[in-house]
Structures are given as structure tokens and as C-alpha cells.
Amino acid sequence: MVDFFDLVIFLLPIYVANSIPVLLGGGTPLDLGLIMSDKRRLFGNGKTIRGFVAGVLGGTVVGGLITNFYLLPFFLNAQEQFVACFLLSIGTMTGDAVGSFIKRRFGFDAGKPFVLDTFLFVVVALIFVFPLARLSLYDPFNVIFFLVITLVLHPLTNAIANKLGLKKVPW
């Protein structure tokens, strides 16, 4: 069984990547205004190039800092862990964009709550890091832990960001 501390540390690049766009995003939309055949935007104005890049860089930097001080048991060495942190970060941002894409296809407007917003970014991050991580990471207990903690923390941090005026909506 993996240590609870290791699981939380593993999640840090994911949560940083997912949070940074709230602070540093904005600017040119990731979809460049592309409208799909369903007459809806590919992602919407909430997903921006600057936010995507900032999320990837932020999660990777935090992962790099962690790697300098602590080697997680899911990786063979520091270099592998650092690459994994990059993959987790880009997977997080990709999962967030995929969630927006799906949300638009179902007719949900930007800024409206949608269940995929809560956990898809974690699922895609786990898929992206799969080639590097030891199988112990994918123990059912660990995956359930990742999803449950995300179902609690994601709405909580969004509500806090809303109260601080960083987000327009509390979800």
C-alpha cells in the first residue's frame, strides 16, 4: 500500500496545472474562435492559449521542485519523475479542454456547472502518465482516492476562488 503523503504529493502538479489558468489565463482563446458544425465553439472563451501554457509550465515547475527534494515510489528515478510531472501537467490541461469540448457538444454554456469539469482533468492526466508510472499507482484504492479527493477539493477550491474574485462562478 502506498503512503497517503505520496498520493497527495503526486497530485500537486495536477492541481497546480488546473489552478494556474485562473490566475494567469486570459487572452487568445485556445480554439481561436473556431465554431463547430453544431454552431458551438470548440472550447469557448474560458480556455485560452496563455492559460493552457501557464498551466503546463506551472504544474511542471512544481513537479520539478518536488523532484529536487522527493522521489515518489511510482517512478524509477528523478528524470523519469520530472518527465511524468510534465505529462501530468499537459494531461491535466488536455483533460480540461476535452471536458469543455464535451460540455459544448451537450449544449452547456461556458461557466455552467458540468460533472466532467470536476474530474476529467485528473483522469486524462493519469492516462498521460501511464507509460512512465509503476502499476502500483493504478491500484484501485489509489485511483478511487484521486477521484474522491478531487470531487471534494475541486468544488471547494472553485468556491474559494469565486469568493476571492478570481472566478466569476463558484464551480
> pLDDT tens digits, residue range 76-129?
999 999 999 999 999 999 999 999 999 999 988 777 777 788 889 999 999 999
CA distances from 81 to 72, 90, 151, 154 (A): 7, 14, 25, 24
Amino acid present at 22: V
The residues, ordered by sequence, that sit 6+ positions from 148 with a Cβ below 8 Å of its Cβ are: none
Whether 71 has a pLDDT exceeding 60, the answer reads: yes
Number of residues assigned to the chain: 171
Average pLDDT, the chain: 92
What does DSSP assign to residue 138?
A: G
Q: Once rounded to an integer, what is the mean pLDDT over residues 131-144?
A: 93
